[in-house]
Structure formats: C-alpha cells, structure tokens
Amino acid sequence: MKYMLMFWDDNFAEPLPEGETVSLAAIRAWVDEMTGRGIRLHGSSLAYATEARIVRVRDGEMLVSDGPYAETKEQVGGYDVIECADLDTAIKVAAAHPLASTATVEVRPLEDFPGD
C-alpha cells in the first residue's frame, strides 16, 4: 500500500531566521536509506508557503489568489510517498524521519485512481 507523508511545521511558512538550520544530512541519510530499501518512492521539499497560489474555477471563471489557503501558522513543507505492507509499518517509517522530532508528520493512505 502507498502512503503519503506530509511534513507540517510553522517553520515552513517563511524562511527560518538567520542562524537556524535543519539537519539536511540527517534528512538525506533517511532518504537514502528508505530509497535503498525500496520504501521511499519519491518526495520533495516545497517552496515556502508565501510562494503558493490558490486556484479556483467558479462559474467558468479562474480565480487566483496568494497562498497559503490555510489560515494557520503550520504549513506543509514537503512530502514523501512510501510503500509499506500496512499502516503500522508506514507509521514506524514516518517516526524514523528526522523531521518527526521537530515537525508534525501526517501519514495518509493513497487511494487507487480508477483505471490506474
């Protein structure tokens, strides 16, 4: 089964203050390990939420507004798609991610799209 891990944190809304860092080496090690084990299928960090745009089409008219849509300090800063035997395994994989100690990791099953 495939799962999406979404990484929520208030530090993803805007750039971190000067001097604050995230251990990119630890994240890279997790990515390399999970990819090597065939668990991580793909993923990416996202640009800051201040770069987001919200797109809606209403009555045939396209409406575009600055993002993020959610009126909250926490924003999604990245994602990974993993494949695991079950939800319990996916939760353990998510808990092993370095961002689990500083951010919130949402684990959500992906549903098959009809025809895929």
What digits encode the pLDDT tens for the residues 60-102? 999 998 876 656 667 788 999 999 999 999 999 999 998 888 8
Tell me: pLDDT of 107 over 90: yes
pLDDT at 109 over 80: yes
User: For residues 34 and 82, is the Cβ–Cβ distance under 8 A?
Assistant: yes
Cα angle 7, 55, 57 (rounded to 5 degrees) comes to: 140
Does pTM surpass 0.85? Answer: no
53 or 39: whose pLDDT is higher?
Answer: 39
Q: Kindly state the percentage of the chain with pLDDT values over 70.
A: 83
Q: Helix (H, G, I), strand (E, B), or coil: what is residue 21?
A: coil
**What are the chain's domains?**
2-16+23-109 (3.30.70.1060)
Structure token pair of residue 112 = 């098959």
Residue 34 has pLDDT above 90, yes or no: yes
The torsion angles phi and psi of 58, rounded to 5 degrees, stand at -130, 125
